[in-house]
Amino acid sequence: MSHTNQTLGEFIIENQSSFKYTSGELSRLINSIRLAAKVVNHEVNKAGLVDILGAVGDTNIQGENQQKLDVYANEKFIQTMTKRNIVCGIASEEEDDFVAINSQDENHQNKYIVLIDPLDGSSNIDVNVSVGTIFSVYRRVTPVGTPVTIEDFLQKGNQQVAAGYVIYGTSTMLVYTTGDGVNGFTLNPAIGSFYLSHPNMQFPEDGQIYSVNEGNYIHFPKGIKDFIKYCQKEEEDRPYTSRYIGSLVSDFHRNMIKGGIYMYPKSSKNMNGKLRLLYECNPMAFLAEQANGKASDGFTRIMDIEPTELHERVPFICGSKNMVEKAEEFMRNA
C-alpha cells in the first residue's frame, strides 16, 4: 500500500505482527490513544471560541495552575483507556498518584501501563500556540492478575514498549514508535482520519537549530553556557539559529524534521531542570533514539536513568546526535 493514503488504522493492523509480544493488546491501546487524540483535538481547536480558557483553580502536584483544557485532556485520555479496559494502570502528569484499573476485579489480565502528559505546554493555549500530548507504554513488571503497584511505573525508559506524541499544531499529527522506527500521521479533519504522512522519521545527524529558554542563561551550568556560546560562534556553519516555542512537542517535532537540539538544563533555580522523566523525557528520548537522535541529561543516557518517583524531574538535552554529543562534551569539560 502506498504511504500517501494509508490510514493509521490500517497501519496498526498491518504492523501488528511485528510487535514483540503480539496479542492485539498494544494495537488496541494505540487505537484508543488515536481516538482520544481526535476528541481532544476537537476541543483544543475550539479553544478560542468557547469559554474554556483560563485556570480551573486547582493546582496540580507540581504547584502549577491547571488550565481547563489540561483537565479535559486528562479526563478524556484516562476515560478512553479505562472504559476500553485495555491497560492495567495509568499515571498522568495531572494526577498526584497512579490510577490502578480494575482493582476491584479478579481479572487484571491487561499487561500494559501508560504514562501520559495529557496536554503539555498548556500555557500556550490562550495565545494560539501549538500544544501536545505525550505518552509512554510499558509492560507491567508485577504479575498479571494482580493490581498494579508503583514498581510497574518506575521503570527505566529503556523498557518502553511504545511512545509517542500528538501535536495540535497547524495540522494535528500523531507520531509514535513501537521500537521499530518513528512514523508520523497527519489528521485530515474533514474525514477524521490520520494518514501516514511522515514514514520513518529521522533526525538529521547534524543540525543548525538550538532550542533553550535563554532567559534563564544566568542560572545555567557552565557546560550549557559554553555550549550556547559555541552555537552562537561565527564559524563555517554557525552561528546556529535559535528557536524556542516553549512547547516541548513542537520544539522536538521541528528539530526532528530540520535538525536541531532542545535543552532544558538544570539551573541554580531548578536543580533538576523542569521536565518530568516519566511523562516527558523518556518518551521523547525513545522517539529520538528511534529516529537516529539522542537524549541525555548532559552525562547519562535518559533511558538508563533509574526512576525513583512518579513526578521526578531531570535535565533534558535531546535532538540531532552530533549536537547532543557536542553539548555533552561541553558538560564534561566544564
Part in contact with ligand AHM (CB under 6 A); list of ranges 39-47, 98-106, 189-197, 245-253:
245-253
Helices then strands, counting H and E runs in the chain, come out as: 8, 15
90-119 residues near ligand AHM, rule: CB under 6 A: 117
Which residue in the set 122, 155, 282, 290 belongs to the binding site for ligand AHM (CB under 6 A)?
122
What mask, x for binding Mg ion by CB under 5 A, covers residues 118 to 137? --x-----------------
> Judged by CB, which is closer to Mg ion: 117, or 289?
117
55-74 residues near ligand AHM, rule: CB under 6 A: 64
> Judged by CB, which is closer to ligand AHM: 19, or 203?
203
Part in contact with Mg ion (CB under 5 A); list of ranges 77-85, 112-120, 164-172, 179-187:
112-120
Taking the complex as a whole, how short is the minimal distance between the CB of residue 230 and Mg ion, in angstroms? Answer: 28
Distance CA 166, CA 292 (A): 20
List CB contacts of 53: < 8 A, sequence separation 6 or more: 47, 67, 68, 69, 125, 126
Which residue in the set 82, 142, 202, 213 belongs to the binding site for ligand AHM (CB under 6 A)?
213
Among residues 243, 16, 150, 55, the alpha carbon closest in space to that of 252 is found at 243
> Judged by CB, which is closer to ligand AHM: 11, or 168?
168
List CB contacts of 300: < 8 A, sequence separation 6 or more: none
User: Within 13 Å, how many C-alpha atoms sit on residue 159's CB side?
Assistant: 18
> Judged by CB, which is closer to ligand AHM: 85, or 270?
270
How far is CA 208 from its chain centroid?
A: 22
Q: Is 126 in the site for ligand AHM (CB under 6 A)?
A: no
Q: Is 130 in the site for ligand AHM (CB under 6 A)?
A: no
User: Measured between alpha carbons, how far is residue 143 from residues 23, 151, 197 in Å?
Assistant: 17, 11, 39
# chain residues binding ligand AHM, by CB under 6 A: 10
Among residues 131, 115, 112, 62, the alpha carbon closest in space to that of 272 is found at 62
Q: Is 117 in the site for Mg ion (CB under 5 A)?
A: yes
Distance CA 334, CA 330 (A): 6
Taking the complex as a whole, how short is the minimal distance between the CB of residue 70 and Mg ion, in angstroms? Answer: 9
Query: What own/partner pairs with CB < 8 Å and gap ≥ 24 does 14-19 have?
Result: 15/178, 15/180, 18/178, 18/180, 19/178
Taking the complex as a whole, how short is the minimal distance between the CB of residue 134 and Mg ion, in angstroms? Answer: 7
Asked if 162 and 177 touch (Cβ cutoff 8 Å), the reply is yes
> Judged by CB, which is closer to ligand AHM: 74, or 110?
74
Part in contact with Mg ion (CB under 5 A); list of ranges 9-17, 111-119, 160-168, 256-264:
111-119
Part in contact with ligand AHM (CB under 6 A); list of ranges 18-26, 120-128, 222-230, 291-299:
120-128
Q: By three-state DSSP, how is residue 8 classified?
A: helix
User: C-alpha grid cell for residue 229?
Assistant: 556560546
Positions that interact with ligand AHM (CB under 6 A): 64, 117, 120-122, 213, 246-248, 274
Positions that interact with Mg ion (CB under 5 A): 117, 120
